Structure 1
Amino acid sequence: MFQFFRLVTVLLLFVQTTGWSQTLPSPKEHFGFTIGDDYQLATYTQTEAYFKKLATSDRTKLVDIGMTEEGRHQYMLIVSSPANIKKLDRYKEISQKLARAEGITKEQAMAMATEGKAIVWIDGGLHATETVGTHQLIETAWQLVSRKDPETLRILDNVVILLTHANPDGQEIVSNWYMREPKPEKRTLDYLPRLYQKYVGHDNNRDFFIMNMKESQNIGRQLFVEWIPQIMYNHHQRGPAGSVLAGPPYRDPFNYVFDPLMITGIDALGAAMINRLNAEDKPGFTRLGGSVFSTWYNGGLRTTTHFHNMIGLLTEIIGNPTPETVPLVPQRLIPNGNTPFPVTPQKWHFKQSIDYSLSLNYATLDYAARHRDELLLNIYRMGQNSIERGSSDYWTLSPKRVDAITQAYQADLKKPRSDSSARPAASEGSRGGGMPIKYYDAVLKDPKLRDPRGFIITANQTDPATTVNFVNALIKTGILIQQATADFTVAGKKYPAGSYVVKTDQAFRPHILDMFEPQDHPNDFPYPGGPPIRPYDAAGWTLAYQMNVQFDRILDAFDGPFKKLPYGELQTPKGRMDASAGAGYVLNAQANNSFIAVNDLLKSGVDVYRLPSGSTGKSSVEPGTFFIPASAKAKAALEKASREFGIDATGLAKRPSGALVKVSPMRIALWDTYGGSMPSGWVRWLMEQYHFPMNIIRAQDIDAGDLRKKYDVIVFVTRAIPPVSNSGGGTRGEGEYQMREPKTEELPAEYRPWVGRITADKSIPQLKKFLEAGGNVVTIGSSTNLAYHLGLPVKNALVEMTNAGQERPLPAEKYYIPGSILRVTLDSTQQATWGMPSQTDVYFDASPVFKLAPDAIAKGTVKPLAWFSTNKPLRSGWAWGQSYLQDGVAAFMAPVGSGKLYAFGPEITFRAQAQGTFKLLFNQLYATSVGQ
């Protein structure tokens, strides 16, 4: 009888399971085609509907993680066994506790690792034109939900899989663009008219240590606050020509703050991936030096996880719904350590890329299932290592430290041999002929060179709301922040209540150091005297520097009246509004959010003035401070701004003495182009955040003329203005400006006016007329080329003379500065630089530097705004040959007719991270006239 009931139970379960699986449609049944079919792409609307159907499975849970910038729902489909789905909260709790490693003994960690499930993140579609990413996500979800083979069941039993759509808006844009053509063979991904993320396009993968975009915030919360997976897998395109894909492990350098377990964890997963492909006879995986991808940079979806002890994986695969060809690249045909199993030239179909991606996903998930407890325990170990390093004296090695050891040794070798101890013996304190150990001790045990135990961000900031933005960037990435509840003293310095404290004795210490400390990128050359090897992205990005946050590095253990803020709980800047003000209010021009208040005041019709010379005495304020005469309307607007944006509005009993200039809004135009400019998109987002009204302007609009009738100021971000031929003025190659453009007649009518680019023969004369008629132009980065087109008395400062007596740009072997943080000196008394300190950090990315004609300043034809006053301006990153920068002008203003040209060489709005230099743009967006 027992056996009978057991058989009936099994049969019922089989019927239920069979019936359930039959209610779930396959991708072909839902979309009308098999995922990977040539010439077929799914839209996000279709994909969202399919995920909702899969969510009826007891293997899944669909989570809405937030809204996108265009107002779509962004989903994460969680897949695991039915039993695990019922206990997701517990497995999330275990993952959080082990990742943070706070107050957990090794025995408790081992018990949780035994109980828990490996958490694996797999995303797709971040870069929407990389269509393999979104479609492998669909196919992977279907396979995991529908398959019943032993491997899939083992994975589901041991792993919680987070399948996350990284860019819903982009999939909708790209798929609709591709599928608009009824004839399949004519479909193309080329000539997308706008960015596939509303504001920043491809730069959505450079946003993850600040998380300005909504999609980044949604993803970041799941990665760094909610789930903290042990493995995250970020799908991209495309691999190096002659290969199918690039994947882990990656080339050097890796960041020196990483735990070695994270790096070797990448190695292990990379081995699992390539082994599976090789076993399935799928060639073409390249790794290590076979591709450009490294683990140095922070800020990418994959790379930011590295600083959180996660095994962050990236693959870049070929593939397109339109069939393509694997090209012949002879040097990739020979097997080597980078590419053990080369692919041969052949026609390549979309389905092959989907199949490869599925194999890579299964390799990752199978590894996670087999090493579940090890992965959980290792992320705990890495967290513990970070806590221990942040709790004791610790020295992080870097190239500068190693160079210091070598220099100390070589200096001793050169000393006169006045006694037997003056010159070290090579074998002293060492074996094998290395340097004496005392040189290691002198540098790596120097108390002054220790890593900090923490950072104190004083409440006394020149820009409190921007400081809160920085603190919130840390909070969004899972960092534990403390705040002082009373005044306190550390290392002899008194700090006020409200100051923020960031201690390094926490699991994500690598990320903390990376946000506060300078990056020390190695001098990376293939051979002595050779050209520099370009970093994958930036070389230096220290966010505290970019945001001009004042902080102190604390080298010894410290404590105080500190409260721990809950993980993930964002802070709100607290403004101050005087209850009464007889004459009016002043707003600090050093605070970015003051510009929000001013723009709202101007929009509501309230008069706003600036104080060109500031004021002294009891109501001392800096030059450029805003003054708002007292009125009921002004008071109401400032109360709102103080409450919502952390504005300090200081009341004045008497009207300030000295000159006043009245502020008026300008009619602002921002350049953009067909296909979209990422730097322009960032500035558009900024202007929306800071309430500057503006219009987009493109080449055809400029070429049409009559600009002064429509606009007062035009902003050109980098890569808008082409170089002047044979001028030596440009710092970037001509090819950067030669974008492929579609044939206008082949485009939908609404996009035809967007086509075109700035040209010397049509556009520049119209810009000159605009300036001469009283318009202003702001140029950033390479668009400062406009100064050369206009014939202003400035030259490229970064040149040398050839043997033939001609100038040429400095070669990269002598001078090379990729994206890094440099320090400049400013004339902060000028209207263009109001609110800026006398020195500031700027983001510099092979940026232009100028030399002024000898009499340019005396004649008033050019006014320097910022310059390099030292031969060592590097603050963070890599600056080979930085001494060439000394006395070079980084920014200037030049009158042109009745208008003004502003030229800012550094990237003053870079990715909305460079918040310390936003004012260099904002100041130029107001008209001023003599006040009353």
Structure 2
Amino acid sequence: MDPYEPNIDPILIQGASFIGQAMMNRLIGEGKTGITTNSVYDSWTPARAYQHYHGAVRILSEAASVQYASPIKQNFSDLRPGLGYDPRTVSWKFPALWRGGEWHLRDIVDYELTAAMGALEHMAYYRERWLRNFYTVQKRAISWNGAPYAFVVPPDQRDSVTAVEMLNILRFGEVEVEQAEAAFTADGVEYPKGSYVVRVAQPFGAFAKTMMEKQVYPDLREYPGGPPQRPYDVTAHTLPMQMGVKVITVNQPFQASLTKVEKIAAASGAVEAGPVTAGPAKAYLLEHDSNASIKALNRLMKDKAEVYWAAKPFSAKNKLYSAGTMIVHGGAGIETKLQAIARELSVNFIAVNDRLNVQAYKLIPPRIGLYKSHVASMDEGWTRLIFENYEFSFTNILDKDIRAGGLRSKYDVIIIPGELSETQIIEGHRNGTVPPEFAGGIGEAGVQNLRDFVNEGGTLVTMDKATEFAAKQFALPVKNALEGVKPQDFYVPGSLLKIVLDTENPIAYGMPRETAAFVEQNAAFDVTGNAKAVGNYPLTNPLMSGWILGESKIFGKTAVVDVPVGRGRIILLSIRPQFRAQVRGTYKLLFNSVYYGPATLTTYE
């Protein structure tokens, strides 16, 4: 159903309808009822519609569940509207009502088999037309002569490792990537040798274009002036914004000496030689800009290295270093370890013998507990994945572990991931709906144990909906400015919004002052008292890609909050800082939070 992403060739959009109607025709012809087409799923995000950007048609069919394999009984009067259809009303895309009754696993198999045979019969009958259309789609792709002409990824990146990762994602999607063998000029701007170029006129240029450009999602309503029509999935997928990579759109054709590349590798890192000729340097500096610096930190922590974060900007070797720069204390054998880390992770350490005399946070290996509710949270799985990828040591903690208490003796940091409401965290599954060992949440006892954990010096990091749990249960000096606001007055269904960061707060170390954050109907806080605003929405429309309604509701509101509580602290990340393990540009907000909590402020001489 609408909308479909504008980079998809119209032939493919119509093709999905063409084959879907054939499948439905065979189902209806066999007397099967309760079937809809052109409903539920849109064709907006390439996360699902990958085929549409690669010269093929994507179709998806689903049947009503029987909840594993037991027959269910469904009354007609209990059926409710879905996205784009009403099961109790006849329409052109829902022509035969299912009147209720029993529904079996056998029914699912029969319906799906008929649908599959309808698709195969259709493809066989119209095979020449399908082949001709596929040829036309690919011919149009390689003949593209509009704007933009190309995207340029220059080598001077804030996080060059992530930039290379982005290019390899495009290569994985079969996008052709070229590298400049010499400097060139495009749209009046000179780019250096080594710049990467992605031209749109190529077989899968539509995929490159949709991943690299800003999305403008249409303002769709249930009825004129009514609430927004909910998208099936998110509305923004702009890869450079998500990953914090600088990409320039070039509209006019240009000449350059370019060579196609296959797998792209980041330049090997190194330890810049210090001014000493024997023994290690006094210290080694690593700037905080790259996500790879966090992986390097995790390896150093496992090696029991002495590591600090500078709390203020400082100068060394005639260069100004920003707050958050990593200071690795020198010692026997440390340079050999740093050389290995530098080579493997493409980071650069600077050896110094200067007396730094800078305020700094002494870091320790944090004992991390990642909350895993029995109410399944995909966000917990994505968090676990990125922690594994970035080599964090952590333990999953369950409801029973939080109810048992004694948390501070086991953990320095507890993380409550997103997608879990206050009710789900506290109450969990109702008794009788799951086996007894999976029923219930953390309960009031667990809430009190979390309060004790923070008051005793622990750090609680909450994300997405869980920030509202923390705000209310800990009576924090914050208030969600969007509480009770109706969707027609404010709506942001998975978009990239600008936030402005206090980069001298440890939570935002290594971040640019302004960045794109993934937001999906998240809280926006007013902060008072001792709560510190670390990331705010600007006083103008924050939309960078996707869709937002009622943007003025969040002007100047806070998305990232640091709240000291007792001897510990609570960090509210009310954005989605690690959404689906995609948004590399805001990973550091989570990573920094983990190390910041248990760190000790001192002076590094």
TM-score of the pair, normalised by structure 2: 0.91
**In the alignment, is the contact (CA less than 8 A) between 1:667 and 1:713 conserved in 2?**
yes
Name the CA distance, whole Å, in 2 between partners of 1:590 and 1:622.
Answer: 10
Q: Deviations over 1:296-315 (max 9, x none)?
A: 22212xx1222223100001
Please, which of 507, 516, 522 is the counterpart of residue 847 of structure 1?
522
**2:363 match: secondary structure:** strand
CA RMSD of aligned residues (A): 2.2
Establish whether residue 680 from structure 1 lines up as the match of residue 435 from structure 2.
no
| Separation of aligned partners in 2, 1:650 and 1:459 | 20
Residue correspondence of structure 1 range 278-427 to structure 2 within 5 A: 278-288=28-38, 291-300=39-48, 303-320=49-66, 321-329=69-77, 332-389=87-144, 392-393=145-146
Contact kept? 2:428, 2:442, Cα under 8 Å: no
- Tell me the residue number matched to 1:740: 429
> Structure 1 counterpart of 2:20, which letter?
G
- Structure 1 residue 632 displacement after superposition: 5.5
Q: CA distance change for structure 1 residues 522 and 579 in 2, over 3 Å: closer, same or farther?
A: closer
Q: Do residues 821 (structure 1) and 496 (structure 2) align?
A: yes
Shift of the alpha carbon at 1:295? 1.2
2:476: which partner in 1?
792
Determine the C-alpha separation between the residues in 2 that align with 1:268 and 1:574. 48
What's the CA shift for 1:548? Answer: 0.7
Aligned pair count reads 584
Distance 1:540 1:600 in 2: 34
Question: 2:369 touches 2:414 (CA, 8 Å); kept in 1?
Answer: yes
2:427 and 2:440 in contact (8 A); partners too: no
1:409 corresponding residue in structure 2: none
Of 583, 599, 604, the match for 2:303? 604
| TM-score, length basis structure 1 | 0.60
Paired with 1:867 and 1:579, the residues of 2 have a C-alpha distance of: 37
> Which structure 2 residues correspond to residues 704-719 of structure 1 after superposition, within 5 A?
704-719=404-419
Residue identity matched to 1:778: V
Q: Write out per-residue CA displacement over residues 530-568 of structure 1, whole angstroms, 9 at most, x where no aligned residue.
A: 1111110111221211111111111111232211124xx
For the structure 1 residues 494 and 737, does the alpha-carbon distance in structure 2 shift closer, same or farther, using more than 3 Å as the test? farther
Contact 1:601 1:634 in 2 (8 A): no
Alignment deviations for residues 706-761 of structure 1 (CA, whole Å, 9 cap, x no partner): 11111111111124451xxxxxxxxxxx68986534659946xxxx3x543234x3
Deviations 1:637-668 (A, max 9, x none): 33332333222233335454533432211111
Map 1:422-821 onto structure 2 (within 5 A). 451-566=147-262, 570-578=263-271, 580-581=273-274, 582=276, 583=281, 584-616=283-315, 618-631=318-331, 633-652=333-352, 654=354, 656-674=356-374, 676-720=376-420, 722=422, 739-741=428-430, 743=432, 746=435, 752=437, 755-759=439-443, 761-785=444-468, 786-798=470-482, 809-821=484-496
Letter in 2 for 1:790: F
Contiguous gaps of at least 5 residues in structure 2: 80-85
Maintained 8 Å contact 2:497/2:519: yes
C-alpha distance in structure 2 between counterparts of 1:608 and 1:271, whole Å: 63
- SS of residue matched to 1:286: coil
What displacement does 1:789 show? 1.8
- Is the helix fraction higher in 1 or 2? 1
- Please name the residue that 1:181 is paired with: none
Cα distance in 2 for partners of 1:253, 1:737 equals 38
What is the percentage of aligned positions where both structures have the same residue?
A: 31
Shift of 1:334: 4.7
Q: Does the 8 A contact of 2:431 with 2:440 survive in 1? A: no
Could you list the per-position Cα deviations for residues 798-817 of structure 1 after superposition, in whole angstroms to 9, with x for gaps in the alignment?
25xxxxxxxxx222121111
SS at match of 2:151: strand
Offset, 1:490: 2.6
**In structure 2, what is the Cα distance between the partners aligned to 1:316 and 1:580?**
61
Q: Distance in 2 between matches of 1:545 and 1:835?
A: 16
Which secondary structure does the structure 2 equivalent of 1:676 belong to? coil
Q: Is the 8 A contact 1:871 1:884 kept in 2?
A: no
One-letter code of the match for 2:517? V
Specify the alignment match of 2:9 in structure 1.
Answer: 259
The structure-2 alpha-carbon separation of the partners of 1:742 and 1:378, relative to structure 1 and needing over 3 Å to count, comes to: farther
Q: Could you tell me whether the CA contact under 8 Å between 1:671 and 1:717 is conserved in 2? A: yes
Query: Relative to 1, partners in 2 of residues 1:370 and 1:640: Cα closer, same or farther, differing over 3 Å?
Result: farther
Contact 2:426 2:447 (8 Å CA) reproduced: no
Alpha-carbon distance, 1:699 to partner: 2.0
User: 5 Å matches for 1:148-163?
Assistant: none
Q: Whose RCO is larger (CA < 8 A, sep 6+)?
A: 2
SS at 2:60's partner residue?
strand
Q: What amino acid is the match of 1:345?
A: G
CA gap of 1:497–1:639, structure 2 versus 1, over 3 A, is: farther
1:820 is displaced (CA, Å) by: 0.6
AA at the equivalent of 1:476: F
Does the CA contact (< 8 Å) of 2:500 and 2:513 recur in 1?
A: yes
Say which one has the larger Rg: 1
